[in-house]
Structure 1
Amino acid sequence: MAATPSKALLLSGVGVAAAGVVALLTVAFTDLGRADQIASVGGVVLALAGLGLSLWAQFGSRGAAAPVVASGPRSVAAGGSVGVAVTGDGPRTPAAQAAPPALAGGTASSGPVTASGERSVAAGGDIGSVSTGDA
């Protein structure tokens, strides 16, 4: 089974840390003063690298927005919530009822939202009311 990119990065980070500890212990047994200097400089370098990675993870590019595609006849796709969707003939709306309140903590989808079949409906969030027929 192939490792995911985040798992590979984690394992490589652990490997680098282990190599650093072994190198530092080797130097410490031969010259304690030099090991102290190396540890001080290495600590500053690693702290700056950690700060840079943290800032990149927090504020770095998030990539393009997820595609929202509706490709079938009379299909509807929405990246967020859908209040009312009617894909039948005529200006009919679903039964007059209040749409259910949004789920607590509901958010728009971060993945692709696709409605590809005839009269299909897809939403990245909540769906209030949908009628895909003529009745």
Structure 2
Amino acid sequence: MPIINHKQFIHAPVDVCFDLARNVDIHTETTAGTNEKAVGGVTEGLLEKGDTVTWEATHFGIRQRLTAKIIHMEKPTVFVDSMVKGAFRSFTHTHRFKEEEGGTIMTDTFEYKSPYGPLGILADKLFLEKYMTDFIVSRAKELKRIAEDGK
């Protein structure tokens, strides 16, 4: 099971970073490259523990839907979402926020299992793990930009 870890320092308070990361509207903005939008469950505003959201996006040229549920939340330091339905066999995405001098360290830990057994493992090695890493890093950089611009 691949595990992707990414840390991003953001020159903004921890509560601002936490709220931006769980904001459905901001998520849509930070994933514009895949035309991601919320089409079910909570479709705007801040996600809370127990909420579900269904995302529709284009990955690898294929329009896909994925439903995730917020399974854990400790404001403003951590929240965890887990796939309920979608293209992966499973995934858990932990978002951590730690106040540091001058800002916040945001840490994403994304653990997933690909479908299709050995073929999925091969896809991980050939392209999927890099694709998911790039996706998470890109979103973190966009969150940093938005937080630091004071949006």
* TM-score normalised by L of structure 1: 0.26
Higher RCO (C-alpha 8 Å, min separation 6): 2
The structure with the greater share of residues assigned to helix is 1
Larger Rg: 1
Q: Higher strand fraction: Structure 1 or Structure 2? A: 2
TM norm structure 2: 0.24
